[in-house]
Amino acid sequence: MLLADAAYMLLGDNEPVFDPEWSAAHPVLTAMLDNPIGAALSKSEIQYSITLSLVACTVSAILSLWVAVPIGYLLSRHAFWGRNFIDAVLDIPIVLPPLVVGLSLLILIQFAPGWLQGQLVYQIPAVVLAQFSVACAFAVRTMRATFDQIDARREQVALTLGCSRAQAFGYVVLPEAHRGILTAATLAWARSLGEFGPLLVFAGATRHKTEVLSTTVFLELSVGDLEAAVAVSLIMVAAAIVVLMFARLWGARNLSI
């Protein structure tokens, strides 16, 4: 897929982006920007979608970690009634069709006060919430697998030596789980970047408002601008590769998620 996209950008009949006189005066900038990717990056709509994507994915990854660390630890360390049910519920966003996830969020928000609905639906917070609803499930899976690999006896030794449960968790468990936390954050970020279905249903795809990179591809295809769609796709592929390579190099290893 990546090779096909790159081949299209290189072999396609692309018209020059800049005026010939300006190109002659600025050859370096022309070489960098006089191509479909440069043309796409010069569009204000795509610049906005890149900015919103970076901010929303980062916020979604942070929120996912805040939820995944305590829930993953609870599911890993404690056996309680209803644990299997909670475990199954957490997997629902993973197995449901993306459009159904977005529709479920729309139905769920109907029970909120009217003023809150107006602040969420088809607004920027809806982008973060839609991404979080799916990314959090992957983060929880990762953190549970991480805590499963940490020897619980070290935590018990800390408790025996006088540490409280919170101190044992903070001083013993969390330092050993730092690679898993990094992996969970990167997976949540990458999953948020590729989210589309829930965003389209719950947040919409309004230019300069709720448009992110995934919905930009949809919008550019809908107006027939294939070059811009391919350029944005290449940006997303490159970002995903960088993030996942970061997780492979510095994240946890041998996790059975």
Q: What is the pLDDT of residues 32-78, one digit of tens each?
A: 555 666 677 778 888 899 999 999 999 999 999 999 999 999 988 88
Neighbours of 151 (CB within 10 A): 10
Q: What integer pLDDT is reported at residue 3 of this predicted model? A: 46
Q: What integer pLDDT is reported at residue 27 of this predicted model? A: 54
Q: Whose structure tokens read 């990854």? A: 61
Q: Are 61 and 143 a contacting pair, CB within 8 Å?
A: no
| DSSP state, residue 196 | -
Residue 46 covered by a domain: no
pLDDT classification of 2: cutoffs 50, 70, 90? very low
**pLDDT 10s digits, 179-235:** 889 999 999 999 999 888 889 889 888 888 889 999 999 988 888 888 888 888 888
Number of structural domains found in the chain = 1
Residue 217 covered by a domain: yes
Calpha distance 176→178 (Å, rounded): 6
Calpha distance 178→22 (Å, rounded): 50
pLDDT over 80 at 240, yes or no: yes
Calpha distance 5→44 (Å, rounded): 22
Residue 64 covered by a domain: yes
Residue 115 covered by a domain: yes
Q: What integer pLDDT is reported at residue 61 of this predicted model? A: 94
Cα angle 245-246-252, degrees, rounded to a multiple of 5: 100
The one-letter amino acid code at 109 reads I
Residue 141 covered by a domain: yes
Calpha distance 162→30 (Å, rounded): 66
**pLDDT 10s digits, 82-99:** 788 888 888 888 888 888
Q: How far is CA 65 from CA 70, 138, 231, in A?
A: 9, 10, 31
The helix or strand, by DSSP H or E, that contains position 106, with its residue range, turns out to be helix 98-109
Mean pLDDT of the region 16-28: 51
Mean pLDDT of the region 13-20: 51
Residue 244 covered by a domain: yes
Q: What integer pLDDT is reported at residue 173 of this predicted model? A: 86
Which structural domain range is residue 67 located in?
Answer: 56-250
Residue 256, both tokens: 């059975």
Give the CATH number, domain containing residue 178.
1.10.3720.10
Residue 43 covered by a domain: no
**pLDDT 10s digits, 104-160:** 888 888 887 777 777 888 889 999 999 999 999 999 999 999 998 888 888 888 888
